[in-house]
Amino acid sequence: MKPFGYVAAKDCEHAVALLAQYGKGARVLAGGTDLLADLKFSPHPPPEVVVDVSRVKEMKGISLTDAGLRIGAITTHGEIIESSVVQQVMPALADAAGVIGAHQTRNLGTLGGNLMTCVPSMDSGPTLLALDAQVTIAGPAGRRTIPLSELFVGPRRTSLQPGELLVDVLVPKENLNKPTGFQKFGLRKGQALALVNAAASAWMNDGLFSEPRIALGAVAPVVIRAPKAEAYLAGRPVSEEAMAEAGRIAATEAKPITDFRASAEYRRDLVAVLVKRCLVAALGRATPNQKELAS
Amino acid sequence: MNVTLTVNGETRSAEVPPETTLLVFLREYLNLTGAKTGCDIGDCGACTVILDGKAVNACLMLAAQADGRDVITIEGLATREGLHPLQKVFEETGALQCGFCGPGVILSAKALLDENPAPSKQEIRNALAGNLCRCTGYVKMIDGIQEVAETMRSVPTPALPAASKGEQKHG
């Protein structure tokens, strides 16, 4: 790698001060799985300074708070998979973490890094978007909270300004235990980027879909919601046919491209299949009472 | 900058430039060349080491990030008494041919068995998904790892007598 400066940030404020001081000359290092691969092979000049946030305590860990489930930005995918609280209140996020890269990269790579690298195929995005997640951003002027959807701007582009840092992700308390399914389709089971990934969440009380959320990855410049499919499901009786139709509608909302991994047509077909599977998986996670009403 | 960490139970230290990866630190500063440089971007797993109990790609982290932490490399597995059971079974069953992927595969397997002494075939496959082998294939590795898991479970823990001695001393 080309030489660069290095500072290990002591806390968020220290990291923000460094990021503000160096502006575009600074890069944030968390798990390193994207950044180091990038720095090794990038044709661009190296950053002036790499700000290592991998020891910032405030940014690590998973905790239930009054506001919901908070996951620090440098929590690794491995830690999310092993977390009993995630397994309990948000198992779809553990499903997503479990199909990122391979074992070794899951032990290094972080949730915040997955979101901030902001590739359209990120596996953490759909589930969190389907659960109305919010993110905390620290900057020179203090902290702000925005919906996760507002973080994503384009491929490898987020709405963070120079000097800002992603601190944590919060899934609001009203969405904990909301039945959610996540699905990924890649060309292999390990070490594969998603051709398409998707997540769907919905309450299914009284046998009706309510507050349905459908999120799609790798079929648009950023992870997107499928509002027409959501509107179709809202208030509708839970049935396999409704799930399949929601998938077909979501496929019309996707804007996939053709590349060396798959054609746009194939990706569009996958959206329909995966959205239905997500809804089936969500139903499988609904409480027995909800399931009974739906059958 | 100074980086000090525990490697295979020993404290090791070196002055390195900040852009030094853990892999370069091990290979070029400590002369521990067991971890291999393969793809160098986290796809092949040839550089796998165990960091604080977890299998990681040494090529994807800076040495500075490992400062103060505990690393196990393939050099740390064999003892004076002989090879580690995983090394032994790989040797005996021909689970390796050229051997380039071996250190990474064996450390991924060790990290798995340390956490899960009775893995299923699928769990072993999952643990090895980040280790590419281009000559032997994976069947003998997977069979070997399962065999070691069974043997290790059936052997009484050798640490027991020492522990009871300790108790007597303090009692």
Looking at A125, A160, A177, which one is the last position of a domain? A177
Judged against a pLDDT cut of 60, whether residue B166 lies above it is answered with no
Residues A256 and A114 in one domain: no
- The 3-class SS string of B81-116 reads CECCHHHHHHHHHCCCCCCCCHHHHHHHHHHHHHHC
Say yes or no for a CB contact (<8 Å) between A29 and B41.
no
Q: Is B152 on the interface with A (CB under 8 A)?
A: no
Q: Is A48 on the interface with B (CB under 8 A)?
A: no
Name the CATH superfamily housing domain B85-154.
[2Fe-2S]-binding domain (1.10.150.120)
Judged against a pLDDT cut of 60, whether residue B162 lies above it is answered with no
> Nearest Cβ partner of A102 from B1, B18, B129?
B129
Q: Nearest CA to CA, how far is A21 from chain B (Å)? A: 19
Judged against a pLDDT cut of 50, whether residue A20 lies above it is answered with yes
The mean pLDDT of chain B is 92
Residues A262 and A233 in one domain: yes
Residues A29 and A103 in one domain: yes
**DSSP states along B13-46:** EEE--TT-BHHHIIIIIS----S--SSSSSSS-T
Beta bridge partners of B62: B21
* pLDDT at residue A190, as a whole number: 85
pLDDT-derived band at B169 (thresholds 50, 70, 90) equals: very low
- Angle value at C-alpha B109, between B106 and B114, nearest 5 degrees: 125
Residue appearing with tokens 């082998």: B133
* pLDDT at residue A137, as a whole number: 98
Say yes or no for a CB contact (<8 Å) between B64 and A101.
no
CA distance A160 to A206: 41
Looking at A177, A205, A227, which one is the last position of a domain? A177
Q: Mean per-residue pLDDT for A26-54?
A: 96
Residues A100 and A202 in one domain: no
pLDDT-derived band at A288 (thresholds 50, 70, 90) equals: confident
Say yes or no for a CB contact (<8 Å) between A4 and B129.
no
Residues A139 and A6 in one domain: yes
CATH number at residue A231: 3.30.390.50
Residues A163 and A184 in one domain: no
- The CATH code of the domain at B2-74 is 3.10.20.30
Q: Is A263 on the interface with B (CB under 8 A)?
A: no
Residues A136 and A196 in one domain: no
**How many Cβ atoms from other residues are within 10 Å of residue B129's Cβ?**
21
Residues A12 and A109 in one domain: yes
Q: Is A219 on the interface with B (CB under 8 A)?
A: no
Residues A111 and A40 in one domain: yes
Mutation for B interface: A103, A117, A188, most B CBs within 10 A = A103
Do the beta carbons of residue B142 and residue B128 sit within 8 Å? yes
Q: Is B62 on the interface with A (CB under 8 A)?
A: yes
**DSSP states along A89-131:** H-HHHHHHHTTSS-HHHHHH-BHHHHHHH--TT-SSHHHHHHT
Name the token pair of A248.
């077909």
Judged against a pLDDT cut of 80, whether residue B155 lies above it is answered with no
Residues A100 and A136 in one domain: yes
Judged against a pLDDT cut of 80, whether residue B24 lies above it is answered with yes
Domains: count for chain A: 2
Looking at A157, A177, A197, which one is the last position of a domain? A177
What tens digit of pLDDT does each residue of A223-234 get? 999 999 999 999
Residue B170 backbone phi and psi in degrees, to 5: -80, -25
Q: Mean per-residue pLDDT for A210-216?
A: 98
Domain extent, residue A268, equals: 180-294
> Nearest Cβ partner of B48 from A32, A50, A104?
A104
Judged against a pLDDT cut of 70, whether residue A292 lies above it is answered with no
* pLDDT at residue B154, as a whole number: 85
Say yes or no for a CB contact (<8 Å) between B19 and A105.
no
Nearest partner of A42 among A50, A51, A53, judged by Cα: A50
Residues A198 and A289 in one domain: yes
* pLDDT at residue A280, as a whole number: 98
Domain boundaries defined on chain B = 2-74, 85-154
* pLDDT at residue B157, as a whole number: 57
Q: Mean per-residue pLDDT for B20-45?
A: 97
What tens digit of pLDDT does each residue of A86-102 get? 999 999 999 999 999 99
What tens digit of pLDDT does each residue of B78-110 get? 999 999 999 999 999 999 999 999 999 999 999
Name the token pair of B43.
């796809």
Low-confidence winner among A39-48, A244-253, B58-67 (lowest mean pLDDT): A39-48
pLDDT-derived band at A287 (thresholds 50, 70, 90) equals: confident
SS3 B147: helix
CATH number at residue A16: 3.30.465.10
Residues A150 and A226 in one domain: no
Instruction: Give the residue from chain B lying closest to A104, CA to CA.
Output: B56
Q: Mean per-residue pLDDT for A257-266?
A: 96
